[in-house]
Amino acid sequence: MIADEQRIQFEANGFLVVPQALSLDALADVRAAADRAEARWRGDTSLPGGRSEVLDQVQAPIEYDEKFLELLWHPTVFPLVRALVGSDVSMIDNDYFITPPRTLRTHAGWHHDVGLQGVYHPRSLMMLKVFYLLTDVDDDAGGTALVPGSHRFPMDWKFPEVLDPREMPGAIQMCGAAGTAYLFNGRTYHCAVNNNSDRPRRVLIYNYGHFWMKVWPGYEPSPRLLAEAAASGDPVRKQLLGIGDAYGQTLPAGQSLPAGQSLPAGQSLPAGI
């Protein structure tokens, strides 16, 4: 029962890896879309994001290309997200990160993403991040590192301070071939390691939370995306983009993909959907 194995792995360690989430064809399409988005973003510095010697961040790539929007409900990965977060899942933010080769330092030191007050985090999945690798990432190529199981540590747990992110005791690195996806609980302690390779690292990031949470400022879907989602009438698309009742919004039982989209051959829905 792969679904049970995935759930136990996620609950125990705070992360999951989905090898070959993107087929070679899908990867080629997404890479081409990423190149177009990057060219547009570099050519117009008024477009949002971060531009520094350690990271180029194309903010909100779903605004650039339908391919990025569709990854929000990727047929292999989104059913897992929906099962883990719950039926009130929604989008919190999305990014395209390009870590330049031979970075002098990390662009993101050790941290976790969720600091909401009034919630006992170690028992709550408040945010779930999905990364899609667009380039091969080995342990020298600036990948994400995380401390397995740290999503269950108390909020005031003091991790040691380390000079090089890779010196964190107990940490592992999320390496993989282009097309790999990995998911982690936003409370899992994580960072980006320095990119010591000669290649840029390219990764798409989708952050999911609960419908009642606010979208991260600057990532609110544009009026165009909202109008298209509303016109589609599709419950998954609308809910992920924040269209619905502030409290009580939920996907219909059994619905984990937009209408007309089916699970890949041989894949079944995880338990609990």
Ligand X SMILES: O=C(O)CCC(=O)C(=O)O
Q: Which residues bind ligand X (CB under 6 A)?
A: 97, 108, 113, 144, 190-192, 205
Nearer to ligand X, 56 or 113 (CB): 113
Helix (H, G, I), strand (E, B) or coil at 96: strand
Token couple for 72:
């929000």
CB of 231 to ligand X, least distance (A): 31
Of 73 and 184, nearer to ligand X (C-beta) is 184
In the complex with ligand X, the residue whose CB is nearer, 101 or 272, is: 101
Q: How far is the CB of 70 from ligand X (least distance, A)?
A: 21
Give the chain's count of helices (H) and strands (E): 6, 10
Question: Is the Cβ of residue 27 or residue 175 nearer to ligand X in the bound state?
Answer: 175
CB-neighbour burial class of residue 164 (10 A; exposed 0-12, middle 13-18, buried 19+): exposed
Alpha-carbon distance of 193 to 43, in angstroms, equals: 28
| Token couple for 146 | 């995380």
Q: Can you tell me the distance from the alpha carbon of 87 to that of 81, in angstroms, rounded to the nearest whole number? A: 10
Minimum distance between the CB of residue 129 and ligand X, rounded to whole angstroms? 6
CA distance 176 to 132: 10
The whole-angstrom separation of Cα 84 and Cα 94 is 18
Work out the angle at residue 118's Cα, subtended by the Cα atoms of residues 113 and 120, and round it to the nearest 5 degrees. 70
The least distance separating ligand X from the CB of residue 4, rounded to whole angstroms, comes to: 28
Nearest approach, Cβ of residue 205 and ligand X (Å): 5
- Shortest distance (Å) from residue 221 CB to ligand X: 19
In the DSSP assignment, the letter for residue 197 is: S
Nearer residue to ligand X within complex by CB, 108 or 243: 108
Identity of the residue, 7 or 187, whose beta carbon is nearer to ligand X in the bound complex: 187
